[in-house]
């Protein structure tokens, strides 16, 4: 069997993204979305999710702020003095994953995860799963925080976006061969997740074609159709970043067009029919066999 979870990342980053993702739940093809609780659009995202029973909401663990200068500042959800290793001198998240990885203390990373979870829980939302914004906890740019992440997910019974099959992930992170330390880390994470009862996916996919080569919507559509036609057996996640064009984050950012195209794709009836034609079963994280 081929099972597929389609997840929309970055819910809460801005109202244009929130509006797009809610529209897809109403009229498109999608399994779930994951919310960035430190972002300025988080409360709007929560309001939409509470009022719309079609929406399945997970936690997009956010520890860096690459777009904060474009719209609002991204601060930790936890008390600032308790997670000071995660922030700059002004109390804001670092822009890059590299800065985060170099400065962060593991116990403070775990504390911030807890705070982001309770941000949702206190507002009546229990996340269906968790994943990591820009893979900041994976250890691709320095220390790994996967031990803390698995403990956190085990505590709250959250499946986590981490693929057991590493082959297609090489394309996502842009390498031909996984360095030995990362290969060892991957094996350890899979083993530890099993011990802790944390559900993982088998495969992870997204569009890996460079933006310069995406000449428009039809080209992107072609890429995603190819991925669906070659989807392997097991439980796969396809993650995208759909949004509307009128976003303060996307202003003067040509690459934001790719997010608008992904929004079009998830509303495109041809894409839904292609998934059905391939015999792929669309599921949510709550329905993982």
Choose between 176 and 286: higher pLDDT. 286
What is the pLDDT, as a whole number, of residue 12?
A: 97
Instruction: Grade residue 136 by pLDDT with cuts at 50, 70 and 90.
Output: very high
Average pLDDT, the chain: 94
* Per-residue CA distances from 174 to 48, 142, 171, 240, 258 (Å): 35, 17, 5, 17, 18
Is residue 2 within 8 Å of residue 280, measured between CB atoms?
yes
Tokens of 156: 């709250």
Rounded mean pLDDT, 190-212: 95
Residue 68 predicted with pLDDT over 80: no
Provide the percentage of residues in the chain whose pLDDT is more than 70.
Answer: 99
Query: At the top level of CATH, which class does the domain 2-287 belong to?
Result: alpha beta
What is the pLDDT, as a whole number, of residue 105?
A: 98
What is the pLDDT, as a whole number, of residue 173?
A: 78
Residue 149 predicted with pLDDT over 80: yes
Residue 168 predicted with pLDDT over 80: no
What is the pLDDT, as a whole number, of residue 180?
A: 86
Rounded mean pLDDT, 60-65: 96
Residue 170 predicted with pLDDT over 90: no
Instruction: Grade residue 116 by pLDDT with cuts at 50, 70 and 90.
Output: very high
Instruction: Grade residue 169 by pLDDT with cuts at 50, 70 and 90.
Output: confident
- Torsion angle of alpha carbons 162, 225, 34, 63, nearest 10°? 60
Q: What is the tens place of the pLDDT at every residue in 28-52?
A: 999 999 999 999 999 999 999 999 9
What is the pLDDT, as a whole number, of residue 20?
A: 98
Provide the percentage of residues in the chain whose pLDDT is more than 90.
Answer: 85
Instruction: Grade residue 259 by pLDDT with cuts at 50, 70 and 90.
Output: very high
Going from N- to C-terminal start, the domains of the chain cover: 2-287
pTM of the model: 0.95
Is residue 232 within 8 Å of residue 202, measured between CB atoms?
yes
Rounded mean pLDDT, 105-132: 98
Residue 63 predicted with pLDDT over 90: yes
What is the pLDDT, as a whole number, of residue 166?
A: 85
Instruction: Grade residue 158 by pLDDT with cuts at 50, 70 and 90.
Output: very high
On the CB side of 147, how many CA atoms lie within 13 Å of its CA? 7
* Per-residue CA distances from 165 to 22, 278, 280 (Å): 31, 21, 19
Q: Is 8 helix (H, G, I), strand (E, B) or coil?
A: strand
Nearest to 265 by CA among 283, 232, 240: 240
Residue 264 predicted with pLDDT over 80: yes
Residue 115 predicted with pLDDT over 80: yes
Is residue 56 within 8 Å of residue 32, measured between CB atoms?
yes
What is the pLDDT, as a whole number, of residue 174?
A: 77
């Amino acid at each position: 069997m081929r099972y597929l979870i389609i997840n929309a990342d970055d819910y809460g980053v801005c109202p244009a993204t929130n509006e797009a993702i809610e529209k897809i739940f109403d009229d498109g093809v999608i399994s779930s979305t994951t919310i960035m609780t430190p972002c300025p659009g988080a409360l709007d995202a929560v309001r939409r999710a509470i009022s719309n029973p079609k929406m399945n909401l997970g936690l997009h663990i956010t520890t860096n702020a690459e777009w904060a200068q474009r719209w609002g500042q991204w601060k930790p959800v936890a008390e600032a003095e308790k997670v000071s290793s995660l922030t700059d001198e002004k109390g804001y998240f670092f822009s890059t994953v590299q800065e985060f990885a170099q400065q962060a203390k593991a116990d403070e990373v775990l504390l911030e995860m807890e705070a982001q979870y309770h941000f949702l829980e206190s507002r009546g939302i229990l996340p269906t799963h968790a994943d990591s914004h820009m893979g900041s906890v994976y250890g691709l740019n320095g220390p790994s925080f996967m031990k803390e992440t698995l403990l956190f997910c085990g505590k709250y019974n959250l499946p986590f976006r981490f693929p057991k099959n590493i082959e297609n992930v090489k394309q996502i992170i842009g390498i031909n061969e996984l360095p030995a330390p990362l290969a060892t880390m991957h094996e350890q994470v899979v083993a530890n997740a099993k011990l802790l009862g944390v559900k993982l996916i088998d495969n992870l996919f997204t569009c890996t074609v460079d933006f310069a080569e995406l000449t428009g919507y039809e080209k992107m559509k072609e890429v995603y159709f190819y991925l669906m036609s070659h989807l392997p057996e097991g439980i796969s996640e396809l993650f995208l970043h759909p949004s509307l064009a009128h976003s303060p984050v996307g202003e003067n950012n040509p690459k934001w067009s790719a997010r608008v195209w992904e929004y079009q794709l998830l509303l495109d009836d041809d894409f839904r029919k292609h998934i059905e034609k391939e015999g792929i079963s669309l599921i949510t994280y709550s329905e993982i066999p």
